[in-house]
Amino acid sequence: MTTGASLEELYREVILDHFRDPRNKGTLPNPTGTFSGSNPVCGDEVTIDLVVEEGRIVDVAFRGEGCSISQASSSMLAERVVGMPADDSRKLAAAVRTMLQTGDEPVDDVGDLDALRGVAKFPVRVKCALLSWNVLEQGLNELAPAS
Amino acid sequence: MTTGASLEELYREVILDHFRDPRNKGTLPNPTGTFSGSNPVCGDEVTIDLVVEEGRIVDVAFRGEGCSISQASSSMLAERVVGMPADDSRKLAAAVRTMLQTGDEPVDDVGDLDALRGVAKFPVRVKCALLSWNVLEQGLNELAPAS
Amino acid sequence: MSTPTIRGQAINAAAVRRDFPVLSQTVNGRPLVYLDNAATSQTPRQVIDALVRYYETDNANVHRGIHALSMRASDQYERSRARLALFIGERKAEHVVFTRNATEAINLVAHAWGDRHVGAGDEILLTEMEHHSNIVPWQLLAQRKGARLVYAHIGSDGQLDLDEMRELIGPRTKLVAITHASNVLGTINPVAEIAGMARRVGAPVLLDAAQSAPHLAVDIEALGCDFLALSAHKMLGPTGVGALWAREERLAEMDPFLGGGGMIDRVDEQMSTWAPVPDRYEAGTPSIADAIAFEPAIEYLEQLGMDNVRQHEIELNALAIDRLHSMPGVTIHGPQSPEARAGVVSFALAGVHPHDIATILDTEGVAVRAGHHCAQLVMRRLGVPATTRASFYVYNTAHEIEALVEGLGKVRRVFG
Amino acid sequence: MSTPTIRGQAINAAAVRRDFPVLSQTVNGRPLVYLDNAATSQTPRQVIDALVRYYETDNANVHRGIHALSMRASDQYERSRARLALFIGERKAEHVVFTRNATEAINLVAHAWGDRHVGAGDEILLTEMEHHSNIVPWQLLAQRKGARLVYAHIGSDGQLDLDEMRELIGPRTKLVAITHASNVLGTINPVAEIAGMARRVGAPVLLDAAQSAPHLAVDIEALGCDFLALSAHKMLGPTGVGALWAREERLAEMDPFLGGGGMIDRVDEQMSTWAPVPDRYEAGTPSIADAIAFEPAIEYLEQLGMDNVRQHEIELNALAIDRLHSMPGVTIHGPQSPEARAGVVSFALAGVHPHDIATILDTEGVAVRAGHHCAQLVMRRLGVPATTRASFYVYNTAHEIEALVEGLGKVRRVFG
Ligand SMILES: Cc1ncc(COP(=O)(O)O)c(C=O)c1O
Ligand SMILES: Cc1ncc(COP(=O)(O)O)c(C=O)c1O
């Protein structure tokens, strides 16, 4: 933790809410693809089922093991990208990554995901928040190569 | 060097004399045994030919490569032990070793070899002086096991 | 905060703390409470001073120099080796090889002894509670040689089962490699009994003493092991140096491992001959300063007395176990008795991931470790992805355990 | 003593000396004249301070910790890695692996790359001027695999013969392992040319930069090598840390070497998967403090400027060669031009063994090295059992070369 960062910036109410009550947690019956990733150092794991049709994310579910930040980040991701064109969700992932790494207010509107911004003040936890976004990007690269 | 030790204690005249004009240097025609040793760290090498008859050292020659101390020590050894009963030369070797390691005046009379005593003040050079004595002992252990 | 009491007769931790400059800092505005000793211990002034003294007065390469600095450096380096040997009950200093850490010591045995003595179909017996550093080197050896790893299980009490051990040690067992103390569960293993079983089948025992040498009296004769690995940085010493001790007979049946300056006798174009031990296993310029500064660390532990160190940690264990048990939702992993474990307490807090616990404790200045602790097999046995671990040492106090407990109260409030 | 002059514009050695506490001592009543820099360099205040700061404020295990100290230690450890990478012209820090020393770096390549790529009948090309640390690892590899070592010869001018090199590099050559600068002769080898030859047969080049990285600008792209090994303790850094740099393609074709904590991804009972580089090659707790304190050493050299360091040593070489040549009975080994060598001058004094020279110089406070310098093949090529070596660095002065020459006068008087 950078001195001066407070716990409230990390554990925003919306994060704790997603952690306690994750959205889209589980598996999908007929995913177009299933993608996994892990942080070997801390043991976080996440698996994402994606249904992609005509360049659009039609459905998402995630499951995995990890801390509140990685779980909440996955849940917020799942809630947010359903129905999004793949290209837009790629842009969103890039914006979230920049926000997590810099702590700056994102140029693009990221909505609720702004709640993750406080993680930037806890550098060692940034990879927890990033994990599901990395997995998403990897999945999209396979299922819906950038147009 | 231990502070306070002077070069004169190391390079006694008798040592420099043996170094410049080594006794019994060379090879023997029909040695009972030939024994070698080296100090890997500094590269000194010595080989000793021994003729041992009825538990007595009848003839000795040495050759090798090394610093003034190892050469002089070998030369003094060769000069001294010719004609000596093996057991006596073993005792002498032990006395020289103790002298070199402690710097104390030897209990047994070691004669000229007392000139090596100053080496004790230069711990890193002690092994130079000891090399030929180790080789002698090893040779005697093979040729004339202690009675 | 009510003042907790422990008998505190074994070690005067308040006095000890004055020797550790790092402990007087604040972290996030709170006094640092360092409870991550199983990862690395803190460094007393005496060790830091030895490092400074070395670099300010004696810095030189060892063994090969005739000049004053090189002689001083060599003498101190060898003195440290002799001191360490005595610390574990060995009189012959040359049976101790300096390595970077316990991990390298274990890898050294896997190559120098293992490659010669382990073959296809042979078994190497490990336990599920090994640190990765006492697993992976044997996996790599087994892969090179077509051997197989066999694991003794951890019982629900966090202990090995000696009956199972007896069954697992058989004619195919070529080596038994076990930890003296678990870095997750704290469990202290009955090494002498296991070594006795191994001896009956002629299998040497490698003891991973990374978590025991810092915390309890270790005596190679009483333990009956053949190899012993440890790290200075876990026992008040500097990073960068550890050691392998090996029994004379075992040293005689080992091949060279790392090649280079200092470990040779004569070098020819196609092959070389080797220097005697320990030089044979110390290729290249060693961690001279670190090895020299390891000596005052050993001296520090000797002056405290290893029995007192042990007693102090038992007292801290007892207090920690008692206080943690009083919190709702806490599960303590491993043996429940304070005497059955080294100064290590891993626990779970229902509904909160260890990383969240560690982050919140850090905001309170309390340093604990959260993760798999390089012991994934233990995590799988416990059925958890990670644990939170508090680990103690000579400078830890009852107050610090209260700080831990208070910090956990805050965790509860955040996640309540 | 007449005041010797060197241009001395490259480096203000008198000012530099003030940063090196060790240099202000007397030895045997005389000011220390430290001319054993090829064995190990001295340590500036900045490096010592970094060690102290680490142990007094940040000491913690790296990578695996969430708490403040562990984060600080990890950040500094990785910052040092990145700095070192840039120092040798690499932008990707993860291509640099911290080892104990150059020797371990070479052994790492011999196992992790060599065991996979070198087979029966293959050749490894070395030169006669290699340090044992760049010979013995290849002997052990050749023995494991049935390969053969081939040696390029040292000419009477102390140089390699590029025509011979061209002939020796052929389809069987699987690796070329050469030193950038000889630790005995000072010879600086034409690495880029040799790497060009090796590239034509697809053989990677391992560069032993132990004696070059401290003394001249090293740029991996200009050199065209595939692996590079160095030691911190020879370049103003602490003992206990060195590095291997490897090209990305080579890293991709290497197997794990030392196994243990920190280098894994997932551990199962029989086999594991590996962490990405550089962690894959850093098993166990690294030399954290030493690696962190390596950074200010690099910074110190960067501030002096490696071209200035080089120029300063050429000036000292020129003076030393000139003054030694003026003494009867002195033979200087290796290239005679001051520009053709790193700051190393090995010589012989007729009728006096190098050990006697070193002992007598020591009584005058002058520290030189006498012996085979871990280069027995060079000794055999020169036809001597040992040499006396004076080696220079940034803090050495023209006065100190006078002290060496005066000391040799005393040697002459003792053995006159
Ligand atoms: C040319 C050369 N290579 C390798 C080494 C080995 O360095 P270290 O002992 O630091 O591993 C040395 C040091 O003496 C050297 O001079
Ligand atoms: C039981 C055990 N073995 C081995 C090790 C490895 O020690 P090091 O990283 O110092 O090599 C550790 C340290 O974490 C340990 O706890």
- The C-alpha atoms of residue B105 and residue D287 are separated, in whole angstroms, by 47
Asked if residue C329 and residue C285 are part of one domain, the reply reads: no
Q: How many residues are listed for chain D in this entry? A: 416
pLDDT in tens, B96-141: 999 999 999 888 788 889 999 999 999 999 999 999 999 999 999 9
- How far is Cα D254 from Cα B38, in angstroms, rounded to an integer? 39
C65, two tokens: 């120099």
Does D102 sit in the ligand 1 pocket, CB within 6 Å? yes
Mutate to test the interface with D, among A124, A126, A127 (most CBs of D within 10 A): A124
Residue C108 scores a pLDDT above 60: yes
Task: Clarify whether residues C224 and C296 are in a common domain.
Answer: yes
Query: Do both C205 and C177 map to the same domain?
Result: yes
User: For the residues C212-222, what does the mean pLDDT come to?
Assistant: 98
Q: Which of C272, C282, C134, C308 has its CA nearest to residue C207?
A: C134
D243 belongs to a structural domain: yes
pLDDT at A108: 79
User: Which residue type occupies C117?
Assistant: H
DSSP code at position B106:
P
Range of the domain at D358: 13-44+305-415
CB atoms within 10 A of CB B105: 9
In the numeric block, the tokens 């080049």 are attached to D205
Q: Does the CB of A1 have a partner CB in chain C at under 8 Å?
A: yes
Residue C75: give its domain's CATH number.
3.40.640.10
Q: Is B40's CB within 8 Å of C66's CB? A: no
Start-to-end C-alpha separation, chain C? 22
| A65 neighbors A45 (Cβ within 8 angstroms) | yes
* CB-based contact D203:D250 (threshold 8 Å): no
Q: What is the dihedral of CA A118, A124, A129, A134, to 10 degrees?
A: 140
Q: Where in the sequence numbering do the catalytic residues of D fall?
A: 374
* CATH code at position D353: 3.90.1150.10
- The answer to whether residue B107 neighbours chain C at the CB level (below 8 Å) is no
| Pairing mode, strands C205-208 and C227-231 | parallel
> Is residue D1 domain-resident?
no
Look at phi and psi of residue D408 and say left if phi exceeds 0, alpha if psi is from -120 to 50, else beta: alpha
Q: How far apart are CA C327 and CA C319, in angstroms?
A: 13
For residue D28, list chain B residues with Cβ-Cβ distance below 8 A: 1, 3
pLDDT in tens, C252-269: 999 999 999 999 999 999
Residues D351 and D293 in one domain: no
| Residue C196 φ then ψ, to 5° | -60, -45
Q: Which residues of C are part of the catalytic machinery?
A: 374
Q: Is D355 on the interface with B (CB under 8 A)?
A: yes
Do D264 and D339 lie in a common domain? no
**DSSP SS3 for C175:** strand
Phi/psi of residue D327, nearest 5 degrees: -95, 135
**Residue B40 half-sphere exposure toward CB, CA atoms < 13 A:** 17
Question: Between the CA atoms of D231, D233, D238 and D244, what dihedral angle is there, to the nearest 10 degrees?
Answer: 0
Residue the block writes with tokens 């790092």: C22
C and B make contact (3+ CB pairs below 8 Å): yes
Region for D236 from its dihedrals, namely left if φ exceeds 0, alpha if ψ lies in -120 to 50, beta otherwise: left
Domain final residue pick, D248, D271, D302: D302
Per-residue tokens: D271: 């086999």
Task: Dump strand ranges (E) for D237-365.
Answer: 242-246, 264-267, 272-274, 330-332, 344-349
Atom of ligand 2 nearest to the CA of D285: 9
Report the residue of chain D nearest B41, measured CA to CA: D371
C169 within 8 A of C176, measured Cβ to Cβ: yes
Dihedral (CA of D209, D211, D214, D216) sign = negative
Which runs of E-coded beta strand occur in B2-145?
Answer: 33-39, 44-53, 56-65
Query: Rounded to the nearest whole angstrom, what is the distance from the C-alpha of residue C103 to the centroid of ligand 2?
Result: 6
Collect all residues of chain B within an 8 Å Cβ-Cβ radius of residue C63: 41
Query: Which amino acid would we find at residue C149?
Result: L
Nearest CB to B41: which of C64, C68, C71?
C64
Whole-number pLDDT of residue B109: 81
- Can you spell out the DSSP letters for D82-110? HHHHHHTT-S-GGGEEEESSHHHHHHHHI
- Alpha-carbon span C41 to C371, nearest angstrom: 18
DSSP designation for C55: I
Q: Over 70: is that where the pLDDT of C136 sits?
A: yes
Residue pair C204/C220 in contact by the 8 Å Cβ criterion: no
Distance CA C62, CA C258 (A): 18
DSSP H stretches of helix in C39-154: 45-53, 68-87, 102-109, 115-117, 136-145
Quote the pLDDT of residue C6. 59
What is the predicted pLDDT for the residue at B42? 74
Q: DSSP characters for C208-234?
A: E-TTTTTTS---HHHHT-SEEEEEGGG
Please provide residue D163's backbone torsions phi and psi, each rounded to the nearest 5 degrees: -65, -45
Q: How far apart are CA D76 and CA D83, in angstroms?
A: 10
C2 found inside a domain: no
Average pLDDT over all residues of chain C:
96
pLDDT range class, residue C2, cuts 50, 70, 90: very low
- D356 and D274 assigned to the same domain: no
Residue C103 has its nearest CB partner, among D100, D284, D374, at D284
Two tokens, residue D52: 């102290």
Asked if residue C8 is part of any domain, the answer here is: no
Tokens, residue B42: 């500094």
For chain B, what are the domain ranges?
A: 4-143
Contact C396 CB / ligand 2 (< 6 Å)? no
Cβ <8 Å between B68 and D356: yes
Q: What is the pLDDT of residue D63?
A: 76
Q: Which of A138-147, C11-20, D44-53 has the lowest mean pLDDT?
A: A138-147
Distance from the alpha carbon of residue C135 to the mean position of ligand 2, in angstroms: 11
Q: Does B122 touch chain D (CB under 8 A)?
A: yes
Per-residue pLDDT of chain D (416 residues; tens, 9 = 90+): 344 555 667 999 999 999 999 999 999 999 999 999 999 999 999 999 999 999 999 999 997 688 999 999 999 999 999 999 999 999 999 999 999 999 999 999 999 999 999 999 999 999 999 999 999 999 999 999 999 999 999 999 999 999 999 999 999 999 999 999 999 999 999 999 999 999 999 999 999 999 999 999 999 999 999 999 999 999 999 999 999 999 999 999 999 999 999 999 999 999 999 999 999 999 999 999 999 999 999 999 999 999 999 999 999 999 999 999 999 999 999 999 999 999 999 999 999 999 999 999 999 999 999 999 999 999 999 999 999 999 999 999 999 999 999 999 999 999 98
CATH, domain range A4-143: 3.90.1010.10
By most ligand atoms within 8 Å of CB, the mutation choice from C374, C389, C393 for ligand 2 is: C374
Q: Do D360 and D255 fall within a single domain?
A: no
CB pair distance less than 8 Å for A42 and C355: yes
Q: What is the pLDDT of residues C17-36, one digit of tens each?
A: 999 999 999 999 999 999 99
How many angstroms separate the Cα of D12 from the Cα of each of C53, D319, D403? 26, 16, 19
Last residue of a domain, one of D250, D268, D302: D302
Estimate to the nearest angstrom the gap between the alpha carbon of D198 and the chain centroid. Answer: 22
**Residues C221, C85: one domain?**
yes
- Residue C5 pLDDT more than 90? no
The answer on C350 and C207 residing in a single domain is no
Q: Give me the helices (H) in D93-182, please.
A: 102-109, 115-117, 136-145, 162-168
Q: What angle do CA D376, D343, D51 make, to 5 degrees?
A: 95
- pLDDT of res. A4: 54
CA D180/CA D190 separation, integer angstroms: 8
Does the beta-carbon distance from A40 to D275 stay under 8 Å? yes
Encoded tokens for B87: 């057991």
Chain D residue with the nearest C-alpha to that of C33: D67
Q: Half-sphere exposure of D163 toward its Cβ, with a 13 Å CA cutoff?
A: 1
Answer whether D183's CB lies under 8 Å from D373's CB. Answer: yes
Number of domains in chain D: 2
Q: Give the distance (Å) from ligand 2 centre to CA of residue C100.
A: 11
Asked if residue D315 and residue D282 are part of one domain, the reply reads: no
pLDDT score for B111: 86
| Residue D291 CA to ligand 1 centre (angstroms) | 18
Domain presence at residue C6? no
Interatomic CA distance for residues A24 and D330, integer angstroms: 84
C185-214 mean pLDDT: 98
pLDDT tens digits for range C137-189: 999 999 999 999 999 999 999 999 999 999 999 999 999 999 999 999 999 99
Which residues on adjacent β-strands are paired with residue B36? B47
Q: Which amino acid is at D310?
A: R
Contact exists between B and D (3 or more beta carbon pairs < 8 Å): yes
CA distances (Å), origin B42, targets C65, C76, C261, C262, D310: 9, 20, 13, 11, 30
Confidence band, pLDDT 50/70/90 cuts, at residue B40? confident
pLDDT of residue A41 exceeding 90 = no
Cα A53–Cα A57–Cα A61 angle in degrees, nearest 5 = 120
Distance, in Å, from the CA atom of C29 to the CA atom of C365, rounded to the nearest integer, reads 7
What's residue C7's pLDDT?
Answer: 62
The confidence score (pLDDT) of residue B79 equals 95
Same domain, D68 and D21: no
Place of tokens 């004619």: C171
Same domain, D278 and D318: no
Cβ contact (<8 Å) for D385 and B7? Answer: no
Q: Do A125 and C359 touch (CB under 8 A)?
A: yes
Give residue D280's pLDDT: 97
Residue in this structure with the two tokens 């680990």, named with its chain if needed: C391
**Distance of residue C63 Cα from the nearest chain B Cα, in angstroms:** 7
pTM above 0.80, yes or no: yes
Residues C266-295 as b or e (16 or more Cβ within 10 Å = b): ebeeeebebbebbbbbbbbbbbbbbbbbbb
Cβ of A81: how many Cβ atoms within 10 Å?
Answer: 24
Residue where one domain finishes, among candidates C302, C322, C343:
C302
Looking at residue A147, its pLDDT comes to: 66
User: Which pLDDT band, with edges at 50, 70 and 90, does C1 fall under?
Assistant: very low
